[in-house]
């Protein structure tokens, strides 16, 4: 009788584990199929109109984060899908956020800690944040709430990243209540939310982070950087050999091939 009970418990555990694996597989497959049809973070359909609307916002946030990093003497490089786009020579239309890696991350931490507390402004409706994409599949996901610091000098909102705590990550958002950015409020306020965080954010992660998603890239700073224009800003990226090795690790040996190109993936000029 006891052996039958133990067998039954084992079978239940196996079924639960297999169910979770299947849910994760189909969730990722669904997101992959949808990814080129929806702007990744703000939730707009990928259309010529929406790509044009998002562009000036991305220009502003790239310029302001770059200015911040220079002002605090914190070296950074562009990474992830942005580095992929730069190396391919084409903007990835559906990838509407920015990802950067910092070498001396402690400088950013100190700078943010000294800033006054701020308000999310138009983004406050998403705080606390919980994935709204597939709530029936991810009922266990807890809401994420965080405090924002206001960087009036650079027109940014900065905070610890709610989904990158183990990576010691930060998130940067445009402060659309800033005098120089109010003209962008109408477009930004229409943004929805998907499975990620907020529309038009910059994920800022230390280069020493060695997680599977990010990959340690400290050596790029030691080997020298090169500069290229991205969203009207001259941004630093690893030199060619480091870039190719890093992208291969993140996306596989065929990273240079876009398997499902979009008509809206425009050349980087």
Other C-beta atoms lying within 10 Å of the C-beta of residue 18? 10
62 closest CA partner among 204, 265, 207: 204
Task: Kindly report which listed range (3-7, 9-13, 194-198) carries the lowest average pLDDT score.
Answer: 194-198
What is the structure's pLDDT at 267? 63
What is the structure's pLDDT at 233? 94
**Stretch 14-31: mean pLDDT:** 57
- 132 has pLDDT over 90: no
- 82 has pLDDT over 60: yes
d(C-alpha 133, C-alpha 136), whole Å: 9
What is the structure's pLDDT at 161? 79
pLDDT tens column, 179-205: 998 888 776 666 544 333 345 688 999
What is the structure's pLDDT at 139? 45
pLDDT tens column, 91-102: 777 777 889 999
32 burial via Cβ count (<10 Å: 0-12, 13-18, 19+): exposed
Q: What are the structure tokens assigned to 173, written together?
A: 């958002």
d(C-alpha 147, C-alpha 158), whole Å: 9
* Domain range annotation of the chain: 52-251
Query: Which are the contacts of 195, defined by CB distance < 8 A and separation ≥ 6?
Result: 31, 131, 132, 133, 134
């Amino acid at each position: 009788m006891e052996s039958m009970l133990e067998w039954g418990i084992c079978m239940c555990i196996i079924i639960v584990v297999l169910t979770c694996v299947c849910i994760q597989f189909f969730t990722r497959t669904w997101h992959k199929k949808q990814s080129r049809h929806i702007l990744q973070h703000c939730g707009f359909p990928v259309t010529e109109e929406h790509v044009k609307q998002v562009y000036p916002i991305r220009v502003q946030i790239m310029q302001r984060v770059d200015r911040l990093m220079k002002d605090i003497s914190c070296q950074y490089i562009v990474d992830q899908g942005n580095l992929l786009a730069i190396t391919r020579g084409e903007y990835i239309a559906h990838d509407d956020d920015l990802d950067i890696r910092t070498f001396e991350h402690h400088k950013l931490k100190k700078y943010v800690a000294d800033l006054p507390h701020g308000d999310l402004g138009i983004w406050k409706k998403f705080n606390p944040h919980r994935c709204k994409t597939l709530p029936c599949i991810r009922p266990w996901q807890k809401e994420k709430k965080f405090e924002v610091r206001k960087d009036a000098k650079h027109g940014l909102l900065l905070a610890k990243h709610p989904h990158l705590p183990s990576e010691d990550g930060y998130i940067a958002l445009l402060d659309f209540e800033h005098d120089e950015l109010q003209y962008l409020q109408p477009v930004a306020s229409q943004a929805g939310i998907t499975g990620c965080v907020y529309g038009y954010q910059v994920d800022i992660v230390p280069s020493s982070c060695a997680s599977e998603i990010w990959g340690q890239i400290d050596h790029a700073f030691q080997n020298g950087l090169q500069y290229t224009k991205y969203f009207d800003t001259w941004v630093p990226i690893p030199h060619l050999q480091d870039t190719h090795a890093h992208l291969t690790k993140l996306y596989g040996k065929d990273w240079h091939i876009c398997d499902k190109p979009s008509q809206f993936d425009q050349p980087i000029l």
